[in-house]
Amino acid sequence: MKFSMFWGCIAPLRYPGIESSTRDVLDALDVEYKDLEGASCCPAPGVFRSFSEPTWLSVGARNLALAESDGNQLMTICNGCYGSLFESNYELRQEPEKLEEVNKILKKVGMKYNGTTEVRHEAEVLYRDMGEDRVRGKVKKELNLNVAVHYGCHFLKPTETRGLGEAEKPTILDEIVEWTGAKSIDYRYKNLCCGAGGGVRARNPELAKAMTLKKYEAVKEAGADCLVTPCPFCHLQYDQAQPEDGLPVLHISQLLGLAFGSDEKRMGFNYHRIDVTPVLEKIK
């Protein structure tokens, strides 16, 4: 199985260590992938879809068509990108008239989408395609960490189309974290939004920050060493909205990179606002 990688906006532009960590993890696991050349924004569902569904569908279909032309499944490392591309793909498959209208637009740029691409999240690929034995087999350093997992909104919902388990009692990320030797701890408000999604961060930053701090207090109370998320946008919100002495935030790829013995310089921790040094010192 081969994948076309959709890197999104936040990771390459704000936290490039997430991208390089993902590359190192996929290389270590011998996953065949290539960059999705010519990709645009996913586009962000909380913005584009709210104002113009045809625009949202057309931009999404263009990205899907690029992966289709590669003959690959499309893999994302971001919940927002995953949600947008997965849902646009689902709608276009379920509603032929929308696919027809979108293809009229794509025809203007010499493209067409046939609905044959699958949209996958990196965490899902790690869990279902790689599996515990393969991931554990690459662990060179058992991580002595108490990890607070943040799933995020777009990864699991809507449950009936995502198919990643019960959204109110998810386990997929907790299990991946524990494959590294770390402990995934329970905490209050585990399923609460990070505060940034749906345009809240842009429209009402104080409300977004209040939601973030509510989760920060809960994970701190539970004794977490760090937060781990599969989403660069959630990562950005936690890294920017917590106090400066808050809990370090890692993308799931960065956590796996630490366990796999990857070069720490490749993980881009210097781009994080909250110092990751306490995490690095604990796993030495």
* Last-in-domain residue among 97, 121, 145: 121
Domain boundary among 62, 91, 121: 121
Q: What is the mean pLDDT of residues 237-262?
A: 96
Residues 6+ apart with CB under 8 A from 164: 124, 155, 156, 170, 172
Full residue range of the structural domain in which residue 60 is found: 2-121
194 & 260 share domain: yes
Q: Give the domain CATH number at 50.
A: 1.20.1050.140
Among 8-17, 106-115, 153-162, 200-209, where is mean pLDDT lowest? 153-162
State how far the Cα of 210 lies from the Cα of 216, in Å rounded to an integer.
10
Residues 151 and 277 in one domain: yes
Per-residue pLDDT at 167: 66
SS3 76: strand
What is the average pLDDT across 66-81?
Answer: 96
Rounded CA-CA distance 195/213 in Å is 9
Which parts of 179-276 fold into alpha helices (H)? 200-203, 205-221, 232-241, 252-260
Q: Are residues 277 and 145 in the same domain?
A: yes
Neighbouring-strand partners of residue 183 = 146
pLDDT, mean over the chain: 93
Domain end point (choices 89, 121, 153): 121
What percent of the chain shows pLDDT beyond 90?
Answer: 81
Residue 89 within a domain: yes
Tell me which residue has tokens 């997992």. Answer: 149
Residue with tokens 């997929």: 172
Sign, CA torsion 106/109/115/118 = negative
Residues 163 and 259 in one domain: yes
Could you tell me the CATH number of the domain that includes residue 210? Answer: 3.40.50.11810
Q: What is the mean pLDDT of residues 122-146?
A: 97
Domain membership flag for residue 128: no
119 phi/psi in degrees, rounded to 5: -105, 125
Count: domains in the chain: 2
Residue 132 φ/ψ, nearest 5 degrees: -60, -50
> Is there a single domain that holds both residue 145 and residue 262?
yes
